[in-house]
Amino acid sequence: MCKGLRIVTIDGPSGGGKSTVSRALAARLHFTYLDTGAMYRAVAYQCREKGVELANSEQLAALLQTIQIELLPPAAGEDDVRVLIDGKEVGALLRTQEMGLLASQVSALPLVRKTLTRLQQKIGESGRIVAEGRDTGTVVFPQAAWKFFLDASPEIRAHRRAEQLRGKGEEVDEQQLLAQIVKRDKDDRERTIAPLKAAPDALTIDSTGLPVEEVVRLMHEKILASF
Ligand code: DC
């Protein structure tokens, strides 16, 4: 029998294959996929749209009090979850490299983390979810039954991300992307609040030489062994 709520957490740095793996695993388990990064990207996007200065805590608090973020299953033939902010679909606008960097800055703000963590916990309160992010096993769902930390070398992560962005029609300089990925990971790992790190009870998987299907198979096997 599993030890806690039927929640799977998958944390790790950007480009480690978390999203693809989390989606596939959620589909196999018939669980809901919770993309917590999309929520940080949504707040970052809305701050930019509304001209909110990140250092202005009053403006930020006002935005967080009113913002409505909805995550919906991907449209037919698409991979990414659909994201609605205040009823307006913005999904594709959140997936750029620029928005990733801004989301990283926004995610270091305690008020943002508090608000989104609460929202994520509400979504997961009855279990049966696969949550993906940086702190889902350490902070958001410390009681989760199954925790994984998915890592890979920075070079392979930059390469995968470049392919992903090219697939979406973005022009990419892979060396620049590598530098951005290294910086974003450093910021995510070194921030004082909810830093990117493996939970003590997480199983770390290095996906550098592993195909996605193999990672999913490993996780699925592990979960079934204690379901
Ligand atoms: O997974 P992603 O690239 O969509 O995440 C965007 C940023 O959001 C990432 O740089 C760090 C932040 N993030 C976070 O701090 N905590 C999470 N649980 C998920 C994402």
Number of structural domains found in the chain: 1
101-140: pLDDT as tens digits: 899 999 999 999 999 999 999 999 999 999 999 999 999 9
Share of the chain above pLDDT 90, in %: 79
Q: Ligand 1 center to residue 38 CA distance, Å?
A: 7
Query: Per residue in 160-208, pLDDT tens?
Result: 889 888 988 888 899 999 998 899 889 899 999 999 999 999 999 999 9
Query: What pLDDT is attached to residue 1?
Result: 46
What residues contact 210, with CB distance under 8 A and at least 6 apart? Answer: none
What is the edge-to-edge ordering of all strands in the sheet holding 69-72? 69-72, 82-85, 88-89
Q: How far is the CA of 1 from the centre of ligand 1 (A)?
A: 31
**Whole-number mean pLDDT of the chain?**
93
Could you tell me the CATH number of the domain that includes residue 26? 3.40.50.300
Q: Residue 186: phi, psi to the nearest 5?
A: -60, -45
* pLDDT at res. 2: 58
**What is the atom index within ligand 1 of the atom nearest the CA of 95?**
4
Ligand 1 centroid, distance to 70 Cα (angstroms): 17
Q: Quote the domain boundaries for residue 160.
A: 5-224
Mutating to test ligand 1, I would choose from 105, 115, 134, 181 the residue with most ligand atoms within 8 A of its C-beta, which is 134
Q: Give the model's pLDDT for residue 15.
A: 82
Chain segment 14-65, per-residue pLDDT in tens: 888 899 999 999 999 999 999 999 999 999 999 999 999 999 999 999 999 9
User: Which two tokens mark 160?
Assistant: 């995968």
Angle between helix axes 97-106 and 174-190 (nearest 10 degrees) is 10
Query: Residue 147, by phi and psi: left (phi above 0), alpha (psi -120 to 50) or beta?
Result: beta
**Residue bearing the CA closest to ligand 1, atom 9:** 104
Angle ∠(41,77,180) on CA atoms, nearest 5: 35
User: Within 6 Å (CB) of ligand 1, which residues are found?
Assistant: 14, 36-37, 40-41, 100, 103-104, 107, 133-136, 184, 188
Mean per-residue pLDDT for 66-95? 92
Q: What is the pLDDT of residue 4?
A: 65
